Chain A
């Protein structure tokens, strides 16, 4: 096959993949295959909210959703301690911004533990262990995006925690909006690549 022919086949495959991911339920099926169904949250010793990004002191949508998820679990009385993670860029760290938000939402300062040291999910598992193991808090409610949960839970279990997943959805798995489906597909692809990288590096 000529180079032009190969490019046409690749172009056709790209268009077909785009149409399938955006305009058919394929992405929803892939989501259901990869993400385990949500279970009701159970009491734990601490709630750990994973980082998702801050831009010049403003939390990203995903970060805000996770922070609210953590606060909601705390307000339900499911754990006495709320750990807010997330590194800093320019300005305040994500963890600090989230703690400010949690205080505004009525969480007492004594129940909040910010830690901006973790820059990757594996890092976050390590620093959480350093923060919580001395307090005897091994059973945690882990708050992150549903697509991220399988990898995050595995890394936290490997660090020594007993993990109770408490996922929040960045995009609903049953969405029928084309853009949301494409975002979901991108998140799933990113997770599959990250999982492969973690396996190759021996972290999982």
Chain B
């Protein structure tokens, strides 16, 4: 190993270090920030209270996603709290000269969908957002992480953040994903392998042939759930797939600047002899479609599996955890996952709401019907994706199968708007969290890929998508 060998994370860290604060802490320059209506109001209020202005309005982008209803968009938002929260972001952004995709904008959508879609997210950047799934943008080889509201205010005012340097972790994915197995299954399996807090303090770089083979949508899905393994940072080194995706997008560099940018972006990969503090290997070819059975994303099994039997678990803490999850989920021990009936099917969220995800789901539902007892929803990740899907006729396929075709937003991923399960109801969901109450108080969530949710919607219960022809 040469002394100067560096990982991708090392390079991004060093290229943004404003000052070394000692003890592994650095003051990092933050190139871009994306704002949404929920985590930003107190930050703007704080900024105003200190009489400060936004240091670089052009380095900020705001969009509406969490609180916005996914239907009746032509009418005023019914919930007065949601309505004023949305209006507040639009007002704050406008007052500070920040571009905002408001409720009526054709570019509106989920923060982690809109940033890449507009080319606002680029390789080599530091990018933050007041949302824990910000590692999604790491798919472009950006150093992107979720921050709290105080940190949003800090970035608005100073364009910097104090951060502790993470340790380096490589997740190497060999082989190729099999038919019916997607980036979502890969990310869920890795969360299961690492555990809910296992990668805390690490920056994960996903690499290997199965990662390089992924489209940008797949890479975003992979990086999206990094936080579910406890790490704030997940990345994929940029390559030709990345550059091809970005070229020509509204915020992408143009002309000479594009060439300069690409030349720099090509240097953004871990040196061959760089060392990682932790290396994990996964064989993509060995993966089956994944399904969560409990109330933490790491409680995940292949679809062919059965819920655990607490009697067989030696550690008392672990046994109690399993019992608590089974009780909340209303599941008996040793139940075949494929015997679990669902009430709801949700295709959406920043994990899986891109055009490619909708296509994968549509392929399964085409010519089929949603089971009569299932409520099924498709919520595109952005208004642009919605229009593109409609241009391809995907909306028709979904509607004819009995899905509702909604407007873009976070929707049932977080159940902050009026999309919500009733207590005790069970969903198959393409989102990223199966926490207690995540889809409404008492709601039960099984995470899986878009194709798996589509298949479950049709079957009325969890089913192995590989067995559908």
- Report if A and B associate in a common complex: no
Which A residues contact B (CB, under 8 angstroms)?
Answer: none
